[in-house]
Copies of this chain bind each other. A is one copy, B any other.
Amino acid sequence: MKQTILKSKLVKVETGNIMIAVLNEIKAMDLGINAGDRIRISMGKKHVNAIVDLSSVDILPDEIGLFEEVSKELGIKKNNVKLKIKQVPNPKSVEYIKKKVNGKTLSYDEIYEIVNDVVHNKLSDIEMSAFVTATYTEGLTFEETISLTKAVVNTGNTLHLKNKLIVDKHCLGGVAGNRTTMVVVPIIAAFGLVMPKTSSRSITSPAGTADTMEVLAEVEFSAEKLEKIVEKVGACIAFGGTVNLAAADDKLIKVRHPLHLDPIGLMLASIMAKKKAVGSTHVLIDIPIGEEAKVKTFDEAELLGTLFESVGEELNMKVDYIITDGSGPIGRGIGPLLEARDVLMVLQQHENRPLDLEKKSLELAGIILGFSDKVSRGKGEKIAKEILQSGKAWLKMKEIIKAQKGNPNINIEDLTPKAYKYEIKAKASGVVKKISNRSIAKVALAAGAPAVIDAGVYLEKIKGDKVKKGETLMSIYYKSKEKLKKCLDILKENPPYVIE
């Protein structure tokens, strides 16, 4: 095909790593090129394939608009550089996406091609959205889910730890607070098992584990640095995003977010790929059930748990799952600093520590300890309790905090919120029957969490507590009157406490 010569026009902004070049609409028509088609842009021996966008006035017929990623890749720093342009076929992955849209089953090679192109920014938003939507409407077979998981592992970064037994956990979420990971990891590591835990930041919740850990230490490390931390202290609690463990997954989240698309196959692949990528051999999946949790019923949770086990089997990982109570918040603090304080209280065995968080953490830690053949059947939880009560877990946490460049001498008092406090009082006496996860999360978000780290909600009364009219149910920590007003509006519309 004949080449065309066009002059560079720099568009000085990034497009989120996707290579995009802009052609004049009329010129493109002349060349038989449509929006979304691919062109190869060459300068000397350098070349880059880009997705075509069209412009009717800003780009002249003899120009080609180059977004930052493209000009960087080609090393072009000024306008009017002559470039050779040639249309090239769409990547094969586009054809495979169409195949999925048509309800067909994809092979490993086809899925790998799609995932690899996602990682290398070769697909447009339109194409990725079609893939995610079709994955949602058409579903993925079990084999496709395995293929997807393997493809995500094979196209992302991996840790290279030499230990025979590497344990991990994951919680499906939807429960406010619930910061068990930060209690479980030091218990497990104190026992001597290796637990390279990577977690996410909040996307729509008041805090992710990474946001909470960041109150105490740094959480962003390269894969190499993370390996060193784990080799040294036996564990880490880091942000997975920086490590690029499941790069494809991180890129697909951008597409899944606007419509909150959570196809089960993508979810399984995303979670399990991250576990495989750190080298986990044994994984515990925590599946909270509740009206407002991600999983609503016991049957659904059983089915999902079995799926996790099966996917694990195909990837040579032993997976156990536990179905837990997700009907209300766990712990008292909601928001990065308040949750970190809860964790410290448990690890330091403070008298006012949230016992529900401690209880659930011990249960999870018990099962994970059971992955070791040094732990007799049914004895895990007891060992976990000893490690926690003896202060060994707190000592280990200090090591982890230090390895992650935090202050190991931090204390509960250091975690006093500096934000304003507003107390919500009970309007009647009774017993707390229920606290709504969703409403509490909304209030904490409105108060400013997770961006404002000490903003959020503190539950002064929890499920089962007796309450007298006028007593404080919860405190809101907020930074500005506007935010407080928003919180109060939410409370009016969605009262979180059910008192009977």
Residues of A within 8 A of B (CB): 1-2, 11-16, 22, 29-32, 34-36, 53-59, 65, 68, 90, 94, 97-98, 101, 103, 124-130, 132-134, 136-138, 203, 254-255, 257-261, 445, 450-451, 480, 482-483, 486
B127 touches A130 (CB 8 A): no
A258 touches B90 (CB 8 A): yes
A103 touches B58 (CB 8 A): no
B2 touches A13 (CB 8 A): no
A482 touches B2 (CB 8 A): yes
A14: nearest chain-B partner, CB-CB = B55
Whole-angstrom distance between the alpha carbons of A482 and B3 in the complex?
10
Tell me the number of copies of this protein. 2
Q: Tell me which residues across on chain B come within 8 A of A101, comparing CB atoms.
A: 133, 136-137, 259, 261
A211: nearest chain-B partner, CB-CB = B29
A486: nearest chain-B partner, CB-CB = B1
Q: Tell me which residues across on chain B come within 8 A of A14, comparing CB atoms.
A: 55-58
Whole-angstrom distance between the alpha carbons of A125 and B483 in the complex?
32
Whole-angstrom distance between the alpha carbons of A255 and B128 in the complex?
12
Whole-angstrom distance between the alpha carbons of A30 and B336 in the complex?
13
Say which residue of B2, B12, B57, B59 sits within 8 Å of A480 (CB atoms).
B2
With contacts A16-B35, A133-B101, A480-B2 taken as known, whether A258 is within 8 angstroms of B126 at the C-beta atoms is yes
* A139 to B: closest C-beta gap in Å: 10
Whole-angstrom distance between the alpha carbons of A68 and B58 in the complex?
8
13 contacts between A and B (CB under 8 A): A1-B482, A2-B482, A16-B35, A34-B203, A34-B257, A124-B125, A124-B258, A125-B129, A126-B126, A126-B259, A127-B259, A129-B129, A133-B137
Q: Tell me which residues across on chain B come within 8 A of A255, comparing CB atoms.
A: 126
A94 touches B1 (CB 8 A): no
The list of the 5 closest CB pairs from A to B, nearest first, reads A129-B129, A36-B258, A133-B133, A137-B137, A125-B125
A137: nearest chain-B partner, CB-CB = B137
Say which residue of B1, B55, B138 sits within 8 Å of A13 (CB atoms).
B55
B58 touches A13 (CB 8 A): yes
Interface-central residue, A1, A125, A128, A132, by most chain B CB under 10 Å: A125
Say which residue of B32, B137, B203 sits within 8 Å of A451 (CB atoms).
B32
Q: Tell me which residues across on chain B come within 8 A of A450, comparing CB atoms.
A: 32
* A141 to B: closest C-beta gap in Å: 16
Whole-angstrom distance between the alpha carbons of A133 and B54 in the complex?
22
A94 touches B258 (CB 8 A): yes
Q: Tell me which residues across on chain B come within 8 A of A130, comparing CB atoms.
A: 129-130, 132-133, 258-259, 261
Whole-angstrom distance between the alpha carbons of A58 and B12 in the complex?
7
B16 touches A54 (CB 8 A): yes
A36: nearest chain-B partner, CB-CB = B258
Whole-angstrom distance between the alpha carbons of A254 and B257 in the complex?
22
With contacts A36-B257, A133-B134 taken as known, whether A59 is within 8 angstroms of B103 at the C-beta atoms is no
